[in-house]
Structure 1
Amino acid sequence: MGALNEIIFENRNKEYGAYKLREEYSLYLKKALLTGLGIFILLFGGAFTYLKYGKVKALDIDEGTTIDLTPEPKTPEKPKEIITPPPAKLEEPEPQNQIKFLPPEAKIDESVINETPPPGPEEMEKAIISDKTIKGEEVTSVFAIPPAPIETKIINIDQPMDDKPFTAVEQMPDFPGGLTELYKFLNANINYPSAAQKSNTSGRVVVNFVVNEDGTISNLKLLKGIGFGCDEESYRVIKKMSKWNPGKQNGKAVKVYYSLPILFKLE
């Protein structure tokens, strides 16, 4: 090895460090092999010694000792007693006056002995016919008296009672010009309340009112509102309307309920 190094480093600077490293390379290699071999022998020997002499002995148990691992039986629960309430006593009605009725029986004339005389008509009128005689309250009448007939009143179905408005008729009331003119009127007269605009409120208000025989509007009632001034504005516009064409039943002008939805919507 030294001769090879001399040839390689001929005419070169041997003090640079590479020459010295190559000179000591074999020595370092031997030390590394011996150190690795020693560590391997130490680990292998320690493990072998531990496995042979260092095992932890298990818990000593006598061969004659028996361990019962069977779980203890549960104590059966006693069945709950079902308490049956006593039957309710039915109140026995008061006994009514009854007379025993003797059915006819064929006998020889000589052996017929009239031990119990048959009841008379006066007794039968005040008693109920039964298979035995019982003393009780006298019955004034066996048959119930039918109630007096109720007088039937004929009502004219074309006109509601107490002159109340109709909910549906043959010809419903309408705004002059029809729905087209009605929507034009609403769009031209409704002012969107400022409170509703500030709160970004929109929705549908439904107002119910009565169209009278002469076409006038009365009895305004709010069926559905959204608040913020929209309900009041709907009332104001409806009261401002001109006369409607009244509803008719059998060709006669009558009062009719009418529900009008009004939509408030921000553009």
Structure 2
Amino acid sequence: MEAKKTPQADLSKKSSMFLNLGLLVSVGIVLFAFEYKSYDDRNLKDLGQLDVEIEELLDIPITEQPPPPPPPVEQPVIQEIPDEVEIEEKIEVNFDVDVKEETVIREVVIADAPVVEKADEIFDVVENAPEFPGGMEAWYQYLSKNLKYPTQARRMGIEGTVYVVFVVNTDGSIQDVELLRGIGGGCDEEAIRVVSAAPKWTPGKQRGRPVRVRMRLPVRFKLG
């Protein structure tokens, strides 16, 4: 059988109110504990007044130092040079010369100094170059008739131009035949042989006189 209680004796209805009151009291106690201040009642010692002499600061003016003097400027030493002694030449002119109207003054002609040519000098360039009798066409005809194509060059298929250099003497004869540029295969020797055996040329002339002249001519080899 359940015990019956009166509604006025039931405390469970007021539990929330009691909980809120307990929280409010506890929060108040915590705040009071933090805000509580305690003071020390011990008497403070009187230290008295300190007799400290404070010296007044004196304004010390800034000393201005004058700038250093400039270095002495060395003046250039001027040396006096005596004037050059002018030498005056006294030219005595004799005006006591009887000039007659018939006196003929010859005109002085200044001629060029004669050019001394050496007998053995060889010229590369002259006023009148040496010439083969009949001209260059005759020279090429002479080469075509007298040149023999070397067998070795023909067999090897060598063809080209051989350049020879030689000297035409004052009498038209040829000497000092040399190879300037060759092609080989026996063509060089054949060109020298034919040029050395050539007839006399017309000699070159310089200032109207026959001179020795160095010539450079091509000798062409062509397979036909």
TM-score by length of 2: 0.49
Q: Answer with 1 or 2: which has the greater Rg.
A: 2
Higher share of residues assigned helix: 1
TM-score by structure 1 length?
Answer: 0.41
Compare relative contact order (CA 8 Å, sep 6+) and give the higher one, 1 or 2.
Answer: 2
